[in-house]
Amino acid sequence: MKLLKQAIMEKGRVLSNDVLKVDAFLNHQIDPELMQEIGKEFTERFKDEGISKILTIESSGIAPAMMAGLYLGVPVVFARKRKSLTLVDGLFTAKVHSFTKKETNEISVSSEYLLAGDVVLIIDDFLANGQAARGLVDIVKQANATLAGVGNVIEKGFQAGGDLLREQGIRVESLAIIDSLENNQITFREE
Ligand code: G4P
């Protein structure tokens, strides 16, 4: 997606050989117009799948997921990383280990909002090692819902997440795939 790649080139900062900072438009400050275009792009890619719900994870997945939900005309559910006072009964949960942060969170979604019969599109900001996606896929299975695919704003193609999901036959659509961040250079995969 051209507009996204432009934003990454203009506003992204390479922090190390494997971390890209995009706080200027995705992870801290959010660019609503870019999110709108991202929502349209996900919609274009998944519009024929009969999607009834979008599932994401707090916090940075929510903005792109919302925009996709707006254009697909479906509700957006986000998995919580922390226990909520009001989220007590009927929970689907999964453990998600972050290699980056070296911590494990239990994520949860209320069974009220994810039903057997739902056709679910998972959306997230980054696909890195795929642990968050794996947890969300697990929750879709617990709900006996159908998984339409996983949409990512940015995939780091040099980390294992994308392969892990595709090897399971899951459709993965990433709007920008980065093959390398080495030498302070952002190299995109050719589309
Ligand atoms: P994984 O879920 O794919 O296995 O990713 P990993 O454990 O490596 O990443 C943990 C967190 O760091 C996730 O956000 C993920 O989106 C984010 N992340 C991973 N690689 C990068 C990167 O190169 N740049 C940026 N900006 N973020 C990255 P999170 O903890 O869920 O944070 P948030 O959604 O609350 O912002």
Share of the chain above pLDDT 90, in %: 90
Strand partners, 98: 103
Q: Are 3 and 25 in contact (CB under 8 A)?
A: no
For ligand 1, atom 15: residue with the closest CA: 126
Atom index in ligand 1 nearest the CA of residue 96 equals 2
What is the position in ligand 1's atom list of the atom closest to the CA of 61? 34
For ligand 1, say whether the CB of 15 is within 6 Å of any of its atoms. no
Give the pLDDT of residue 92: 96
Q: Please say whether the beta carbons of 59 and 132 come within 8 A.
A: no
Q: What is the pLDDT of residue 136?
A: 98
Q: Which atom of ligand 1 is nearest to the CA of 18?
A: 23
Mutate to test the pocket of ligand 1, among 126, 159, 170, 172 (most ligand atoms within 8 A of CB): 126
Rounded to the nearest integer, the mean pLDDT of the chain is: 96
- pLDDT > 80? residue 83: no
Q: What is the Cα 166 distance to its own chain's centre?
A: 15
Task: Give pLDDT, residue 49.
Answer: 98
The stretch 95-116 carries a mean pLDDT of 91
Q: Three-state DSSP class for 22?
A: coil
**pLDDT, tens digit, 9 for 90 and up, residues 125-163:** 999 999 999 999 999 999 999 999 999 999 999 999 999
Dump pLDDT digits (tens) for 2-39: 999 999 999 999 999 999 999 999 999 999 999 999 99
133 Cα nearest atom in ligand 1: 2
Ligand 1 touching residue 8 (CB < 6 A):
no
Mean pLDDT, residues 165-180: 98
- When mean pLDDT is compared across 3-7, 39-43, 100-104, the lowest value belongs to 100-104
Nearest one of 15, 54, 10 to 152, comparing CA atoms: 54
Please name the residues in contact with 113: beta carbons below 8 A apart, sequence gap of 6 or more. 53, 75, 77
Q: Which long-range contacts (CB under 8 A, 24 or more apart) does 157-160 make?
A: 157/189, 158/18, 159/18, 159/127, 159/128, 159/129, 159/130, 160/129, 160/130
pLDDT band at 100 (very low <50, low <70, confident <90, very high): confident
Average pLDDT, integer, range 40-56: 98
Do 170 and 149 meet the contact criterion of CB atoms below 8 Å apart? yes
Of residues 178, 189, 191, the one with CA closest to residue 19: 178
- Distance, in Å, from the CA atom of 41 to the CA atom of 24, rounded to the nearest integer, reads 20
CATH classification for the domain delimited by 2-188, as one of 3.40.50.720, 2.30.30.280, 3.40.640.10, 3.40.50.2020: 3.40.50.2020
Residue at 45: amino acid letter: R
Q: Is 99 touching ligand 1 by the criterion CB < 6 Å?
A: yes
